[in-house]
C-alpha cells in the first residue's frame, strides 16, 4: 500500500517516531492514523522491553515546589541516553510526575517497592474486613486482591490515575514515553516534603 508523505509527517508530528517507523506503521495500519499510532506504541513498548538489560544511567532530577511553598518534591527519572534526557517530551514527563507526587502523595514508585511488612499488614486488615462481611474463604481472597488494587492505586505512583487525565495512570504515561523514545526509562526514586508533616 502506498503511503503519502503528508500522512508520514502527521504521524511523525503526533508520535515523534522516525520516518521509516512511521511509514511501516502506516502500511501495517492500511493508512489509518490512529491504528498506526497504536502500532508504533506497541512496537515502542516492545523495543523498550527488549532493552531491559540496558543501563538507564542518564536522566534528570526535577525539583518542584507547589504554589504557597508548603509542598516540595524531588524526583529522579533515568533513561539510556543524554539525548533523550534533553528532549522536551522527557522533561515534560518528569515535571508532570513531580506535580503528580506533590498532589497525590504516593508512598512508593511501584508495588514491587512496597515493603513486605506493609503489604502483610494491609492484607491482614483487608482480610479481616472481608471476613466480617461473612463471605466464604475463596470470596475473601478475591475481595482482598481487588482491594489491594485500590491500595496500589492510592499508594504506588505508577498505578495512580494521572492528575491531568484520570482515564490513564502514570504507568500509561510512562508507556507512551517508552513508545516515543524506544529507550528504557525508569522513575528511580522520589522524596516529598510538606511543611509541618510528622516525620517517621
Q: Where are the domains of the chain?
A: 5-50, 58-110+156-194, 115-154
Query: Which residues are registered as beta bridge partners of 74?
Result: 63, 191
**How far is C-alpha 157 from the geometric centre of its chain's CA atoms?**
7
pLDDT at 137: 78
Phi-psi region of 69 (alpha: psi -120 to 50; beta: other; left: phi over 0): left
> 5-50 with 58-110+156-194: one CATH topology?
no
Q: Give the CA diameter of the chain.
A: 64
| Nearest residue to 156 (alpha-carbon basis) of 139, 174, 144 | 174
Residue 100 CB-density burial (10 A; 0-12 exposed, 13-18 middle, 19+ buried): buried
Residue 45: its pLDDT value, please?
A: 60
For the domain 5-50, what is the CATH superfamily, name and number? Ubiquitin-associated (UBA) domain (1.10.8.10)
Q: At what angle do helices 5-15 and 19-28 cross, to 10 degrees?
A: 110
3-state secondary structure of 54: coil
* Domain boundaries 58-110+156-194, CATH class: alpha beta
Packing angle between helix 5-15 and helix 33-50, nearest 10 degrees?
50
N- to C-terminal Cα distance for the chain? 62
**C-alpha dist (Å) from residue 94 to 61, 97, 114, 144, 176:** 8, 5, 22, 33, 13
Coil, strand or helix: which one is 6?
helix
- Fold of the domain spanning 115-154: GTP Cyclohydrolase I; Chain A, domain 1 (1.10.286)
- Specify the pLDDT at position 47: 60
Residue pointed to by grid coordinates 532493552: 51
Give the CA distances from residue 137 to residues 119, 129, 143, in Å, rounded to whole numbers and listed in that order.
Answer: 19, 12, 10
Rounded CA-CA distance 84/180 in Å is: 10
- pLDDT truncated to tens, each residue of the chain (200 aa)? 778 888 887 877 666 666 778 888 889 989 888 888 888 877 776 665 665 656 677 999 999 999 889 999 999 999 988 899 999 999 999 999 999 999 999 999 999 999 999 999 998 888 888 888 877 777 888 888 888 889 999 999 999 999 999 999 999 999 889 888 888 899 999 999 999 886 55
Amino acid at each position: 500500500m502506498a503511503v503519502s508523505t503528508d500522512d508520514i509527517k502527521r504521524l511523525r508530528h503526533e508520535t515523534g517516531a522516525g520516518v521509516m517507523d512511521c511509514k511501516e506503521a502506516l502500511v501495517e495500519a492500511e493508512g489509518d492514523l490512529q491504528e498506526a499510532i497504536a502500532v508504533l506504541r506497541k512496537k515502542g513498548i516492545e523495543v523498550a522491553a527488549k532493552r531491559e538489560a540496558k543501563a538507564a544511567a542518564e536522566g534528570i532530577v526535577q525539583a518542584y515546589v507547589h504554589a504557597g511553598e508548603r509542598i516540595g518534591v524531588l524526583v529522579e527519572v533515568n533513561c539510556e541516553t543524554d539525548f533523550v534526557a534533553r528532549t522536551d517530551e522527557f522533561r515534560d514527563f518528569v515535571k508532570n510526575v513531580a506535580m503528580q507526587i506533590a498532589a497525590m502523595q504516593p508512598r512508593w514508585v511501584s508495588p514491587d517497592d512496597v515493603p513486605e511488612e506493609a503489604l502483610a499488614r494491609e492484607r491482614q486488615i483487608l482480610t479481616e474486613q472481608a471476613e466480617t462481611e461473612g463471605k466464604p474463604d475463596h470470596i475473601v481472597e478475591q475481595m482482598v486482591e481487588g482491594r489491594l488494587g485500590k491500595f496500589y492505586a492510592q499508594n504506588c505512583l505508577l498505578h495512580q490515575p494521572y492528575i491531568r487525565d484520570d482515564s490513564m495512570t502514570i504507568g500509561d504515561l510512562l508507556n507512551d514515553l517508552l513508545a516515543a523514545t524506544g529507550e528504557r526509562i525508569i522513575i528511580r526514586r522520589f522524596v516529598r516534603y510538606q511543611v509541618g508533616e510528622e516525620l517517621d
